[in-house]
Amino acid sequence: MKQTQRGFTLIELVMVIVILGVLAAVALPKFVDLKGDAVLAATQGVAGALSSGASINYASRSVSSTRGAAVSNCTNVADANIMQGGLPTGYTITTGLVTAGESVNCVLSNTTVTPSVTASFSAIGIN
């Protein structure tokens, strides 16, 4: 007599559940600490925007002294509204002098987390 199979056996179902459990146990720790990665990426994004804004400001100011803003220290980059909308809340910039025509690395700190996350950006001084 021919028997037809109509479904999965209990052993097959248990094995699938075990395999899914092992996969979940391996993959779960990779997704637990995504907040730290997100904060770091956000801080690096703001630092990149500040660096890009400082470069664009330098180019504009080099063409005409009535365009752009004068930058003499790291905090001027954010204070001069080089970034549209200004510096987001929760970020601070270390004060550092920037001489005209020179580039200096400034440090941006994200103070919304403990310990604070930092990233550096370049500011170009211009009168």
Residue 20 lies in a domain: no
For residue 28, being part of any structural domain is answered with no
Domain count, the chain: 1
Instruction: Give the CA count within 13 Å in the CB-facing half-sphere of 96.
Output: 19
Kindly indicate the confidence band of residue 14, based on its pLDDT and cuts at 50, 70 and 90: very high
> pLDDT by residue (tens digit) across 15-65?
999 999 999 888 888 777 788 888 999 999 999 998 888 888 888 888 887
- How wide is the angle at C-alpha 59 spanned by C-alphas 56 and 61, nearest 5°? 105
| Residue 97 lies inside a defined structural domain of this protein | yes
Tell me, what amino acid is at 23? L
91-117 tens-digit pLDDT: 998 877 888 888 888 999 999 888 889
Residue-number span of the structural domain to which 118 is assigned = 35-124
